[in-house]
Structure 1
């Protein structure tokens, strides 16, 4: 770049006839605030997904482990040390923030929010610089800032606790700073230091950052070629060498752990539409429905490229920069993928997204120079498109995340002493621990309440050892909860743990929670068939009450809760007087008597015995069915006096069964259908 071109660029910035400085700055500030507000909106509405839990685990680890990328996977028995597939810079930012503000989703994702927000002023700055050089049409910077503030791709990764938004921002920022360095006859120290610091952050955010260094090498070479030819080659090859070292280190760390084995080669004919759709309309659309709008974005980007390459003068001023910014990383990644597939989806090339947005903006600005109304119409079309995608993102469940919160609430209301919690796979331990009541189970184990939690399949064990371990656990616990996430199924792709439990225990329940791309199941298994020929020795309170001359409550037991806010375990011992073909259900309530007036209902359980798995139609006279039931969490005072109210009814007609036989001291409500059982919390 000649000094004359630089002089003209400086004059162009001062005398381009643009809006007054305060108006431009006001517009930029408004767009920054718009981007920030949109990114913060419902930032914690979606649960974390598995990849984000790895970010959390790394960010909250010790500083040395964080820098080394050490992630320890555990199953409650043993541990497995793994190395994360990303360098450290993003997680350092997260770690600093988490240590001061906590580990909530909002905090964990906030570095991505800031990175996506900063893309607006960074693209503005790069756009203005290229406009000043005559590479882009006037107005490109403003259009770029608007499109960046509304871009659905930046929204998606700006609300995800992963490094992709930061990587995209640093790609643009490092290129802008290098551009400023190469505009001077001698490099300005502030710009040079800024570039080197940003380059370091860029390279330590994602190993694929090395794909952009050939573009930086070309920029340095072109600048130094006329000033210091001997240093031009040194600088260019130096940058390429740095890129090679970073890429080599990343490849070694990833491949030695078997990383990339689930990648398949993606040809250019598939990659380009995928990238075009992602950078234009984001990930919250169906590409088959919006392909035509993707083409509008792509056509405008081509217009922007054409404007920069319209003459030798514009090419010499840097018209080659943005096309090369887009093309070189794609070609390099394709070349690498011929040896080892390295592309799965657009996030792996998110460093290109800023350049693409700037080229689309340049295309709009070029159209505006010839026909403002046409540019305005195109802009409205683009804004409507990204608005549609944004609405999908916030409202359509298929673009959400797995409902770990729902699974956690479900478990917390049903966990009882004597329960075993199995988490499949153990690689998801951190996200399970974040949302599920794992701490409640661990607390119960410490307090001697017979609970435990393990990850399955067990690490470092073959399937014979795993099944032997499951058999040992089956003999130690009354019930087994199995939580299975399909997000990372590689340890148990055939779901052999579930199959073993189905063959060797009694499955009582299965609840599926929302998962947009896989599954999230919570299942309950009973370790022993709960049918006895004599009264079990651990029954605390005999009752001997008969409902409707058909169903007898032999007795009941009320256990201790796992914690103050946990479910109240109630064990019911049933018997049938004679065979029946009728399904009966019961209503169990926890009441707090009042000195005057109706007692207060604190909790209610209504179900068929064992939720219909062992219904009354299968009961045989003389056999006792022991049912582990529970009442939902309710506030209980240690010195309180409470009542359990029990009713039976016909499942089809809903007719309540009268109490037809009871001991003389039994408490029966005046309605004749409600049995009242005293309960005092154990100290």
Structure 2
């Protein structure tokens, strides 16, 4: 009997030791799985672009436009020199930092809450979709969370013992965390308050103060350097929000992950309500049964979000990734609540099992969408965009990005030059400067490949797209990997592509030629004909251009009549000597019979409907002309 008890105890001990190892292994697998498959997103592209610059230029840019601390970008620069700049290589440091964060969660949890709660917190952190997502992101946040948690743990250990060595190590980690992101200061302030309130550590406040002062003093040269920009800097994409909204946003992403990364509204609602209940119950459990650890867990879990909320009264700064450093503390606090349920009888154990099962189920639902559903991919398919541009590149063409994304430049391999249009956010760049930039493009290139993406923060009214539509001939409009890509020919490109067809009309108007971009058009598609007019003298009357699609029997079945240039250039506005490029479109019905069709064109007076006569060379004057082309409808 005694031997049996010893054997069962040994087995339980082995299981207790193997469970954290198994959880850590699974955490690593979840973070490393297909990490190099998604294309880089814009912020990751920014990281690569900044890391590619010389250190001096990098630091100068941080003063001029983006006041990021340099640690992550300098480290990434060194890493790229060793491992290369593939998606896998760029994200691998975050994978390692994410796995280390889970391991630290177990170590801190075991020290503060005991082995069972530590294992529970580790499981919650291992499966957490928000932590997994940022552990596969070439940004600082996964590293920052690991640095903050390690610094908090070393600070706690230093406060438990005499001596200065652990204070130095803790100070070093806090220094690195602050040099990774300025909001690490919020976590440092929270942990300092925890040390003051915790019964067993408050006596070490002087040592903690010395450590904090040392960190601040060594950071002062850099802070003085970036202070002018840092004080007035704001993120235009961060909007003000109320306390209830911020709380709900945190609860949803901390429990089930981001909606953009695969979480459904239902899974977010269930996860948020369950997490809120566990955090409240965990707080009660810690304050009643583990008071020495309560201040530390609560500071880690709640300190940074609360301080971010308070800062938001001064300036909108709250966004979920800034609070990521609090998530290990949230896992610890929730695990404390779940451990408390285990002492409440059979119903508590059942509730604990249901809670763990619910968290794991919602996590796997979100992660399966994130891994396998293209709808929830981390970024657009920039590889497909790059392949399309390389495959269709032409001479004398420029690529114009309506909303520049740093990830685009990481993948772009085509020979065409690239410009952001407008060159900066329209509100600060100005419509006049944007128009001047577009005029320069129009006069410098024959073709413009335009990524049409009006944004509320960059080009809210689609100024660039409207300008190109008014000045140039649109020859294509399609979606490539989710992006609307429009192709324009500038006047230079359009005139070079016209098919000569000289017609002399009355009222000193000449037709010099035409252009049919596509002679084969599917049913339900759009037929586009461009006419080229030359004005010999001012025109007194307003004429309408008619474009008729003729059936094989000669009957007119569809028309594209209109004032020239989509109504923007009536003939009364034409100037002597001007060449006008005039595009007309006809939308084909989806049930249109297939076959070969013809096009006839001409002009008529807008008021009376009388057609304008014209002739080709010395031929007879007629009021309509059938163009020498065929349109195949399929």
Give the TM-score taking structure 2 as reference length. 0.71
Secondary structure (helix, strand or coil) at the match of 2:313 reads helix
Q: C-alpha separation between the residues in 1 aligned to 2:10 and 2:193?
A: 31
Residue 370 of structure 2 is aligned to residue 393 of structure 1: yes
Q: C-alpha separation between the residues in 1 aligned to 2:467 and 2:117?
A: 62
Residue 25 of structure 2 is aligned to residue 44 of structure 1: no
Residue deviations 1:89-115 (CA, integer Å, cap 9, x gap): 222332222112221212111221111
1:527 is matched with: 490
Q: In structure 2, do the counterparts of structure 1 residues 359 and 479 end up closer, same or farther at CA, with 3 Å as the change threshold?
A: same
Q: C-alpha separation between the residues in 2 aligned to 1:386 and 1:457?
A: 41
Secondary structure (helix, strand or coil) at the match of 2:306 reads helix
Q: In structure 2, do the counterparts of structure 1 residues 115 and 649 end up closer, same or farther at CA, with 3 Å as the change threshold?
A: farther
Equivalent residues of 2:171, 2:215 under 8 A apart: no
Equivalent residues of 1:326, 1:356 under 8 A apart: yes
The partner residue of 1:493 within 460, 463, 472 is 460
| Cα offset, 1:618, TM superposition | 4.0
Q: In structure 2, do the counterparts of structure 1 residues 264 and 252 end up closer, same or farther at CA, with 3 Å as the change threshold?
A: farther
Equivalent residues of 1:213, 1:240 under 8 A apart: no
Residue 233 of structure 2 is aligned to residue 266 of structure 1: no
Equivalent residues of 1:217, 1:239 under 8 A apart: no
| Cα offset, 1:300, TM superposition | 1.9
Q: C-alpha separation between the residues in 2 aligned to 1:522 and 1:398?
A: 20
Residue deviations 1:413-444 (CA, integer Å, cap 9, x gap): 2111222222334x53x422222334x22xxx
| Cα offset, 1:230, TM superposition | 6.0
| Cα offset, 1:198, TM superposition | 1.2
Q: C-alpha separation between the residues in 2 aligned to 1:229 and 1:498?
A: 61
Q: In structure 2, do the counterparts of structure 1 residues 616 and 503 end up closer, same or farther at CA, with 3 Å as the change threshold?
A: farther
Residue 90 of structure 2 is aligned to residue 98 of structure 1: no
Residue 311 of structure 2 is aligned to residue 336 of structure 1: yes
The partner residue of 1:506 within 458, 463, 473 is 473
Q: C-alpha separation between the residues in 2 aligned to 1:272 and 1:247?
A: 31
2:23 is matched with: 31
Q: In structure 2, do the counterparts of structure 1 residues 25 and 82 end up closer, same or farther at CA, with 3 Å as the change threshold?
A: farther
Residue deviations 1:367-395 (CA, integer Å, cap 9, x gap): 22444343223222221111111122223
| Cα offset, 1:140, TM superposition | 0.8
Q: C-alpha separation between the residues in 2 aligned to 1:301 and 1:247?
A: 36
| Cα offset, 1:302, TM superposition | 2.3
Give the TM-score taking structure 1 as reference length. 0.66
Secondary structure (helix, strand or coil) at the match of 1:58 reads helix
Q: C-alpha separation between the residues in 2 aligned to 1:273 and 1:251?
A: 33
Residue deviations 1:441-471 (CA, integer Å, cap 9, x gap): 2xxxxxxxxxx43332246975435434433
| Cα offset, 1:251, TM superposition | 6.8
Q: In structure 2, do the counterparts of structure 1 residues 281 and 229 end up closer, same or farther at CA, with 3 Å as the change threshold?
A: closer
Equivalent residues of 1:402, 1:513 under 8 A apart: no
Q: C-alpha separation between the residues in 2 aligned to 1:154 and 1:261?
A: 25
2:340 is matched with: 366
Secondary structure (helix, strand or coil) at the match of 1:481 reads strand
Q: C-alpha separation between the residues in 2 aligned to 1:300 and 1:484?
A: 46
Secondary structure (helix, strand or coil) at the match of 1:416 reads coil
Equivalent residues of 1:213, 1:243 under 8 A apart: no
Number of aligned residues: 510
| Cα offset, 1:24, TM superposition | 4.4
1:64 is matched with: 56
2:632 is matched with: 651
2:273 is matched with: 295
1:422 is matched with: 400
Residue 147 of structure 2 is aligned to residue 170 of structure 1: yes
Structure 1 range deviating more: 457-466 or 258-267: 457-466
Q: In structure 2, do the counterparts of structure 1 residues 171 and 225 end up closer, same or farther at CA, with 3 Å as the change threshold?
A: closer
Secondary structure (helix, strand or coil) at the match of 1:182 reads helix
Q: In structure 2, do the counterparts of structure 1 residues 306 and 470 end up closer, same or farther at CA, with 3 Å as the change threshold?
A: same
2:550 is matched with: 581
Q: C-alpha separation between the residues in 2 aligned to 1:213 and 1:111?
A: 23
| Cα offset, 1:22, TM superposition | 5.5
1:53 is matched with: 45
1:355 is matched with: 329
Secondary structure (helix, strand or coil) at the match of 1:52 reads helix
Q: In structure 2, do the counterparts of structure 1 residues 340 and 462 end up closer, same or farther at CA, with 3 Å as the change threshold?
A: closer
Q: How does 1:529-678 map to 2 (within 5 A)?
A: 529=494, 530-533=497-500, 581=550, 617-618=598-599, 651-652=632-633
Q: C-alpha separation between the residues in 1 aligned to 2:11 and 2:113?
A: 14
| Structure 1 residue ranges without an equivalent (≥5) | 1-16, 72-80, 133-137, 442-451, 536-550, 553-577, 584-608, 624-647, 655-683
| Cα offset, 1:274, TM superposition | 0.8
Equivalent residues of 1:220, 1:236 under 8 A apart: no
Equivalent residues of 2:174, 2:188 under 8 A apart: no
Q: How does 1:55-134 map to 2 (within 5 A)?
A: 55-66=47-58, 68=59, 70=61, 82-132=64-114
Q: How does 1:12-23 map to 2 (within 5 A)?
A: 23=15
Secondary structure (helix, strand or coil) at the match of 1:263 reads coil
Equivalent residues of 1:501, 1:525 under 8 A apart: yes
- CA RMSD in angstroms comes to 3.8
Q: In structure 2, do the counterparts of structure 1 residues 249 and 289 end up closer, same or farther at CA, with 3 Å as the change threshold?
A: farther
| Structure 2 residue ranges without an equivalent (≥5) | 1-8, 503-514, 517-546, 553-582, 589-595, 603-614, 617-628
Equivalent residues of 2:550, 2:598 under 8 A apart: yes
Q: C-alpha separation between the residues in 2 aligned to 1:219 and 1:18?
A: 37
Q: C-alpha separation between the residues in 2 aligned to 1:274 and 1:364?
A: 22
Q: In structure 2, do the counterparts of structure 1 residues 69 and 471 end up closer, same or farther at CA, with 3 Å as the change threshold?
A: closer
| Cα offset, 1:217, TM superposition | 1.8
Q: In structure 2, do the counterparts of structure 1 residues 183 and 436 end up closer, same or farther at CA, with 3 Å as the change threshold?
A: same
Q: In structure 2, do the counterparts of structure 1 residues 20 and 59 end up closer, same or farther at CA, with 3 Å as the change threshold?
A: farther
Q: In structure 2, do the counterparts of structure 1 residues 466 and 619 end up closer, same or farther at CA, with 3 Å as the change threshold?
A: farther
| Cα offset, 1:244, TM superposition | 10
Q: In structure 2, do the counterparts of structure 1 residues 500 and 141 end up closer, same or farther at CA, with 3 Å as the change threshold?
A: same
Secondary structure (helix, strand or coil) at the match of 2:486 reads strand
Q: C-alpha separation between the residues in 1 aligned to 2:429 and 2:274?
A: 54
